[in-house]
Structure 1
């Protein structure tokens, strides 16, 4: 699956539709996990990846750069909220014994269809109700845009759940939009402040590296962070 000529136009139209449909845009916070919204995105996409605004159809370059220097050699990795599966496929290509999960079954099935021969264990799972045998089981955990997708009052809970997957001596990679500590945001998404990006320390992890960078769109520049965390072995 590649980006065809009118991909970006279809994507912008989908963003506009989703903004109108998204309960968070209307300040309706009954479902602060936003599970219903994400299920609706994949349902309405009807197989068109342009209608899934966060689907780049390629792995994040920061992840690829890190993997080039840290091959898996059979170690276990997990991709959190895998979406259409590009980052999970990159983990498998780098030699990791890879599990990937998403809350939305349609997303998982779509990823499985896109990468039928990749050695990835695709699973439907709830980040806040993970299988017991996943806790502390993975040498590498990759998280991209998950925490920022829920309101700030849920950020600590979601961060702790992600950190719980990291094995002793394991690594967590975090890719997120960022903002200044006192910068206001309406959301969604809700970019992470420095103190929110530090939440993994409360789960016993130590930051080893951090890269701040911008993604430039025609209409705006979006600050990002790529952080590397490690749990003591």
Structure 2
């Protein structure tokens, strides 16, 4: 079975139990046993993170949401950010620690919807790459709010996501791509998080957003 088909089957079983996130740990465990692959594991950072200009100088703490096997987190740490990386899958976190022994990154198994105090305190840079899109649309508003809450006053949020055109909606997922309006919904007047830029990338059948927000 192709990895994408395997993932959708796992997600469907999990959603049938009213569990939107349990399939992740099952997936990482299966990948560790050689049963399947992790399609988004590139062995390094996402290309849209690696090419993002970002702040002129690293300026404090960063967190990677849904960090998986650590590629994005290690990229930030190598550029001087004091980096925390969390994932709901303990198996993924254990694999990231094994992949990067001696890493300065603080890897934590944690739930975006119920983060421990060390994560809920907020960060100067929050990187949300491909996590919100992996949750069903019924969870989207809650997930967006949870990501938004991680940004410290004066901080920056970077969102990378699969893109959908307005009016385009697929019930089959994950992923469930975001429309531009859904990407822009990370901005929130009450919390002071404002949209700085939204970039759209179309290449080789891939359609992606990269959006930056400032608090």
State which of 16, 35, 44 in structure 2 corresponds to 1:58: 44
Q: Which runs of 5+ in 1 are unaligned?
A: 1-11
Which residue of 2 is the match for residue 109 of structure 1? 94
State which of 1, 5, 17 in structure 2 corresponds to 1:16: 5
TM (normalized to structure 1)? 0.83
Instruction: Give me the whole-angstrom Cα distance separating, in 1, the residues matched to 2:121 and 2:161.
Output: 22
State which of 72, 85, 109 in structure 2 corresponds to 1:124: 109
Write the mapping of 1:1-233 to structure 2, written as runs, cut at 5 A. Answer: 13-23=2-12, 28=16, 30-31=18-19, 33=20, 35-46=21-32, 48=34, 51-66=37-52, 70-73=56-59, 75-186=60-171, 187-202=173-188, 203-216=191-204, 221-231=205-215
| 8 Å contact from structure 1 (residues 55, 84) kept in 2 | yes
Instruction: Give me the whole-angstrom Cα distance separating, in 2, the residues matched to 1:18 and 1:132.
Output: 31
| Structure 1: 4+ residue segments shifted above 6 A | none
Aligned-pair RMSD on alpha carbons?
A: 2.2
Q: 1:204/1:68 Cα in 2 relative to 1: closer, same or farther (>3 Å)?
A: closer
Q: Aligned residues, how many?
A: 212
| 8 Å contact from structure 1 (residues 177, 191) kept in 2 | yes
Which residue of 2 is the match for residue 6 of structure 1? none
Instruction: Give me the whole-angstrom Cα distance separating, in 1, the residues matched to 2:93 and 2:163.
Output: 27
Q: Which runs of 5+ in 2 are unaligned?
A: none
Instruction: Give me the whole-angstrom Cα distance separating, in 2, the residues matched to 1:47 and 1:214.
Output: 34
Instruction: Give me the whole-angstrom Cα distance separating, in 1, the residues matched to 2:100 and 2:15.
Output: 37
Which protein is richer in helix relative to its size? 1
Which residue of 2 is the match for residue 7 of structure 1? none
TM (normalized to structure 2)? 0.89
Instruction: Give me the whole-angstrom Cα distance separating, in 1, the residues matched to 2:113 and 2:15.
Output: 23
